Every structure is written in structure tokens, then in C-alpha cells.
Amino acid sequence: MHDSMAPILVGGQPEKEASMVETTIGSRLRDALAESGMSLAALSEKAGLVYSSVQNYAADKQNPGAEALTKIGRATGINLHWLLSGEGEKFTKAVAIIPREMTMRDYQELRARFTNFDEVFTFKNPWEFGDVKENMPEYEAMSFRGTIRAMEALGIGDVQSVLAGRNLDHMSRDELATVFRQVIETVQPAG
């Protein structure tokens, strides 16, 4: 009887086994890519692999051969021993979060969040909050914080690297504006 955690043969078709968390090359590949923020398309491009092959690897329709495994390891930092067997460390090196392109769905989600965010500032009694002009820097700071958090939640840009451990809640409006510009610079344009 075959041990479900034993390496699956490279090349050819994957074995049909009971589905368990991360028991296949494809499930481990999907897990590692999700953790690093890399899409299948980005892996295909960075590793120089055909996109449909990468899709097949991730869907467990086909196992990658030795050459493809080498390319995947180099492009992602995934530990190939872990990818094949599920044993050991997932990555051979610290993996940077990969900024991804903004898709139309991301844009629509971001837009929806801003619509909801704007509703927070729809005051029923404008006198309750004092002079809007006087409080504008505070409102702008709140807007920057909300925008940066929405981008982080959607995986747009590399917010964590830009923040480098700093807390958004303790930043001035000018600091937040600078962080926002830096995050925008990390966004990959749709090609």
C-alpha cells in the first residue's frame, strides 16, 4: 500500500488518492503560491513555463517534470523536497510578497469599498462634526488609511514592504500620503 505522504512520481499523471490537505503536488503548489501572493500567470511568466501546463500542475492533472520543477523552484523559492513530499520547510529562502496586477474584479471590489467608505462621511447633521474645512486634514488621513487598508486586503501593491512595521494609526496625514504614493508605485500595471 502506498503512503499518502510519500513523493509522487515526477512526470506522467498524478496518482488518484483520497483528497487531504496539501497531499498532492498541485495542492502544495497552490498553497505556496497563495502564501507568496504569486498567481499562476505570474509563475508561468517568471519560470518560462506554458500557462496551461502550470494550470495542469496546480489542478493535479499533470505532475511537473524535472526541468519544470527546477524552473518553479528558481522562480518561487519553493523547496522542491517539500513540493514533492510535503516534508521540510515550504520555502528555501524568505519569500517576498509579490505585488500583483489589479484586475477588473479588484477594481470593482476597491470601488465598492470606497463607496461604503464614503457613506461613513455622509453626515446627517453637518454641525455635529464642526467645520469640515477645519477638520479636512483629519478626514484626509482617515481616507488614506482606508485606501491603504483596502489595497492591502485586496493584495494590490506591496503594502507590508512599504509600511515596514510602521502603524497606519500613528501616522500624520503627510506620512500617510507618502505611504500611499509608495504603495501605488509597487502596483504592477495590467499588461
Q: What is the pLDDT along the chain (191 residues), one digit of tens a residue?
A: 444 444 444 444 444 443 344 689 999 999 888 888 888 888 888 889 999 999 999 999 999 988 898 889 888 888 888 888 888 888 886 555 555 555 666 666 666 655 554 444 444 444 455 555 566 677 777 777 878 887 777 777 777 788 778 888 888 888 888 888 888 777 766 55
Q: C-alpha grid cell for residue 82?
A: 517539500
Q: Among 148, 143, 138, which Cα is nearest to 172's?
A: 138
* Domains defined along the chain, listed by start: 1-96 (1.10.260.40), 104-186 (no CATH)
pTM over 0.85: no
Q: C-alpha grid cell for residue 58?
A: 496546480
Classify the phi-psi angles of 127: left when phi > 0, otherwise alpha if psi is within -120 to 50, otherwise beta.
alpha
**Which residues face 55 on adjacent strands?**
none
Helix (H, G, I), strand (E, B) or coil at 155: coil
